[in-house]
Amino acid sequence: MKEKIRRVLERHWGYKCFLPLQEETICSILKGKDSLTVLPTGGGKSLCFQLPALMEEGIFVVISPLISLMKDQVDALSDMGIAAAYLNSSLSAVEQRAAIEDCRQGNVKLLYMSPERLQNEAAINLLKDIGVSFFVIDEAHCISHWGHDFRADYRALGMIKKIFKAASVHAFTATATKEVQDDIVSQLELSNPMMHIGLVDRPNLTYRVIPRQQIIKQVTEVLERHNNEPGIIYCLRRKDVDSMSIKLKRLGFDNMPYHAGMPDKERHISQNRFMREEVNIIVATVAFGMGIDRSNIRFVVHTGMPKSVEQYQQEIGRAGRDGLPAFCYMFYSGGDYGLWTFFAKKSPECAVLMEKLGVMYNFCAQPQCRHKVLVNYFGQPYDVDMCNACDYCLRELEMVEDPLVVGQNIVSCVESVRQDEYGFGAGYITDVLKGKMLDKIASLRHNELSMFGIMVNETAPFIRYMIEQLLGQDFLRREGEFSTLSVTDKGRQLLDAEAVPVLAKPLVREKKKQIARQRSKRREQDWAGVDQGLFQRLRDKRAELARKKGVPAYIIFGDKALKDMAAKKPLTKDEFANIYGVGEHKLKAYAGVFIEVIKQDLQTGLRIKTLTNDKVMVSSKD
């Protein structure tokens, strides 16, 4: 069986081997056993249920939460010569009847549906008539109250096992803690399921977490670093999206906005232009995320802190899906914590939300290996000493020489100014430590405290950054409507020198230059042997084809395939067949087009070389 599976893989997908856990998952599906598969973004979840559909009689039904996700997957399958269809509200009555008839005639291998439609009696009768043996629940974390994208309609999918007793059910997700995994199995009523839990870590991603100061300046520095590369900029609020998008356009950075408050038509235009590579930057809220499969996103920027690690993992999951290096930047502040706290207190799940928020804030504020924190959060060990793919392990963070003294000064100040139940915010504490003779400080006689001016030689941003880190590490906490500071039990241990914080300094200009040199060197390594000019011309051709076909550009080929072409420069169909991701159907459809681009590039290069040599010869005669 395994040999047959590998032949199907190479024939349709053009891959020579499987990614981790793909083959095991495919085998368990073909055995008709229920299963739960958790694979990181970029781990090839879709292939795990698409490939078995080609090896079995009948139809596979895929439950998917988003119309855009269904369409993209069906378009991608069609581009590989695989019969697929979807039933959702985007289809006209005529289109729906045609899709249903194709299913009844056995012309469809994979049928995509929403969870809402599966509760429709007509849909259930259709599936009974055509005899479905396999159900796939994609984005299965939506079923769990513990998940970050809970959807009530997913909660009802346990009915599949009751109505289709002979069918096996296969759940897939990229992000699931142990609680979410257990909830998925329970709610779907999976029978002794095969569990395929992949490694959470994505070593091709580099994480950087930076205090938010001048956010437009910070974002434009990232965009300049990733010139002409595709990326997503996440904002917490709709108004932030609109403001950021307008300001970036004025600065010459073409982009499209995206949030749920926009008219449907405008939102779809933004998404389509981004997916077809007509524009490289999209500025969005969390509404833009799940189901966005553009594989070559090279960077993701968070202009504020997400409310949970799960949400963060989902959003950075858009980056580097092709396995090539990608970069994740987060600019955060204590105000983000206050905003999410405000919303959490309005929820019946307040305790759970606050616990998740605390973990997220700790991730931001405590200097530590970012990969290790994320992997440990999802219940997996991380045995690597240095990931060499985050600001901490790359030694981009300069540590404070005497964190005990700095921490004690700040915590002592918070304790000293507090009057009964009345405390002060981070700004006021900073002013006292800086020794500012303000009216309020003088009226409260806080200028007479021993802590007044004790950090006069430090900048205000330095002190505020120290406060944020002490908050993140639970030496301090925020309280009440005005986010006043108070000392925790752990903070009192710090005062007694029984606990020591881990404190990093804010980045300074010299350090930024050093980091920029390191990044430039790493980019050279990533592109070694690849003709970057040819890569861009291949990318332009891909975008042109995508526009003509009305599909996202990645459906034609991913960046990994284009880089392989730009390195190997195939000139025949046989050579093109050995390019990464070229199956039989893509070989027939695209070999001639891309080979022509490569030939033209080589001819142009030869002409330039000839002209240059002629000029050199003329010059030498002179």
Please give the pLDDT value at position 72: 86
Q: For residue 302, what are the CA distances in angstroms to 224, 285, 295, 430, 473? A: 16, 10, 19, 26, 21
DSSP string, 431-500: HHHHT---HHHHHTTGGGSTTTTTTTTS-HHHHHHHHHHHHHTTSEEEETTTTEEEE-HHHHHHHTTS--
The whole-angstrom separation of Cα 74 and Cα 66 is 13
Please give the pLDDT value at position 352: 87
Please tell me the CATH code under which domain 2-197 is placed: 3.40.50.300
CATH 1.10.390.10 fits 403-506, yes or no: no
Q: Which is more confident, 392 or 294?
A: 392
What percent helix, strand, coil does the chain show, rounded to 5? 50, 10, 35
pLDDT digits (tens, 9 = 90+) for 395-433: 888 899 999 999 999 999 999 998 767 789 999 999 999
Question: With 0-12 CB in 10 A as exposed, 13-18 as middle and 19+ as buried, what is 44?
Answer: buried
Asked if residues 208 and 177 have their Cβ atoms less than 8 Å apart, the reply is no
Q: Residue 84's beta-bridge partner residues? A: 110
- SS3 state of residue 613: helix
- Using alpha carbons only, give the angle 15, 13, 54 rounded to the nearest 5 degrees: 125
Average pLDDT, whole number, for the chain? 89
* Residue range 139-157: mean pLDDT, rounded: 76
pLDDT class of 57 with cuts at 50, 70, 90: confident
Please give the pLDDT value at position 612: 56
The whole-angstrom separation of Cα 328 and Cα 325 is 10
Tell which residue, 512, 494, 515, has the closest CA to residue 503.
494
DSSP string, 45-89: HHHHHHHHHHHSSS-EEEE-S-HHHHHHHHHHHHHTT--EEEEST
Q: Which is more confident, 557 or 526?
A: 557
Largest Cα span, the chain: 92
pLDDT digits (tens, 9 = 90+) for 71-80: 888 999 999 9
What is the DSSP code (8-state) at residue 507?
P
Tell which residue, 294, 254, 251, 248, has the closest CA to residue 271.
294
pLDDT digits (tens, 9 = 90+) for 162-211: 999 889 999 999 888 888 899 999 999 998 999 999 999 999 999 999 99
The whole-angstrom separation of Cα 356 and Cα 375 is 15
Asked if residues 502 and 487 have their Cβ atoms less than 8 Å apart, the reply is no
Q: Which two tokens stand for residue 101?
A: 């008839």
Ranked by mean pLDDT, which of 343-357, 512-526, 598-612 comes out on top? Answer: 343-357
* 332 phi and psi angles, rounded to 5 deg: -130, 165
Residue 512 pLDDT greater than 70, yes or no: no
Residue 526 pLDDT greater than 90, yes or no: no
Token pair 């670093």 in the structure block, residue: 225
Asked if residues 98 and 130 have their Cβ atoms less than 8 Å apart, the reply is no
* 61 phi and psi angles, rounded to 5 deg: -105, 125
Residue 41 pLDDT greater than 90, yes or no: no
Where along the chain do its domains lie?
A: 2-197, 205-377, 403-506, 529-621
Q: Do domains 2-197 and 205-377 have the same CATH topology?
A: yes
Please give the pLDDT value at position 281: 96
Please tell me the CATH code under which domain 529-621 is placed: 1.10.150.80
Give me the numbers of helices (H) and strands (E) for the chain, helices first please: 26, 15
Asked which of 323-332, 524-533, 572-581, 599-608 is least confident by mean pLDDT, the reply is 599-608
Determine what percent of the chain is predicted with pLDDT higher than 90.
65
Taking the chain, what is the end-to-end CA distance rounded to the nearest angstrom?
Answer: 72
pLDDT class of 133 with cuts at 50, 70, 90: confident
The whole-angstrom separation of Cα 466 and Cα 366 is 10
Residue 607 pLDDT greater than 80, yes or no: no
* Residue range 365-384: mean pLDDT, rounded: 92
Residue 614 pLDDT greater than 80, yes or no: no
Q: Residue 194's beta-bridge partner residues? A: 35
Please give the pLDDT value at position 456: 95
pLDDT class of 141 with cuts at 50, 70, 90: confident
* Residue range 582-596: mean pLDDT, rounded: 95
Token pair 């899709």 in the structure block, residue: 99
pLDDT digits (tens, 9 = 90+) for 90-114: 889 999 999 999 999 999 999 999 9
* 3 phi and psi angles, rounded to 5 deg: -65, -40
The whole-angstrom separation of Cα 196 and Cα 49 is 13
The whole-angstrom separation of Cα 336 and Cα 306 is 8
- Collect all residues with Cβ–Cβ distance below 8 Å to 479 and sequence separation of at least 6: 423, 485, 486
Please count the other Cβ atoms lying within 10 Å of the Cβ belonging to residue 381.
9
Ranked by mean pLDDT, which of 45-49, 150-154, 266-270 comes out on top? Answer: 45-49
Please give the pLDDT value at position 567: 95
* Residue range 156-161: mean pLDDT, rounded: 91
* Residue range 449-463: mean pLDDT, rounded: 94
Residue 256 pLDDT greater than 90, yes or no: yes
Alpha helices in 500-558 (DSSP H): 509-526, 532-549
Token pair 């120290």 in the structure block, residue: 466
Question: With 0-12 CB in 10 A as exposed, 13-18 as middle and 19+ as buried, what is 264?
Answer: exposed
* Residue range 454-469: mean pLDDT, rounded: 93
Please give the pLDDT value at position 149: 58
Instruction: Indicate the class that CATH gives domain 205-377.
Output: alpha beta
Instruction: Indicate the helix (H) or strand (E) that contains 169.
Output: strand 168-173
Please give the pLDDT value at position 525: 75
Token pair 């080609």 in the structure block, residue: 54
pLDDT digits (tens, 9 = 90+) for 343-366: 998 888 898 899 999 999 999 998
- Collect all residues with Cβ–Cβ distance below 8 Å to 125 and sequence separation of at least 6: none
Asked if residues 260 and 285 have their Cβ atoms less than 8 Å apart, the reply is yes
In this structure, the dihedral spanned by the alpha carbons of residues 13, 16, 20 and 22, taken in order and rounded to 10 degrees, is 40
Q: Which two tokens stand for residue 508?
A: 């300074």
Q: Which two tokens stand for residue 33?
A: 């056993």
Q: Residue 35's beta-bridge partner residues? A: 170, 194
Please give the pLDDT value at position 42: 81
- Collect all residues with Cβ–Cβ distance below 8 Å to 87 and sequence separation of at least 6: 96, 99, 100, 111, 112, 113, 117, 123
Tell which residue, 61, 51, 71, 57, has the closest CA to residue 127.
61
Q: Which two tokens stand for residue 543?
A: 């975008």
The whole-angstrom separation of Cα 73 and Cα 394 is 37
pTM of this structure: 0.82
What is the DSSP code (8-state) at residue 505?
P
- Collect all residues with Cβ–Cβ distance below 8 Å to 178 and sequence separation of at least 6: 379
Please give the pLDDT value at position 418: 84
Please give the pLDDT value at position 615: 54
For residue 448, give the amino acid letter. E
Please give the pLDDT value at position 257: 95
Please give the pLDDT value at position 67: 80
* 176 phi and psi angles, rounded to 5 deg: -160, 115
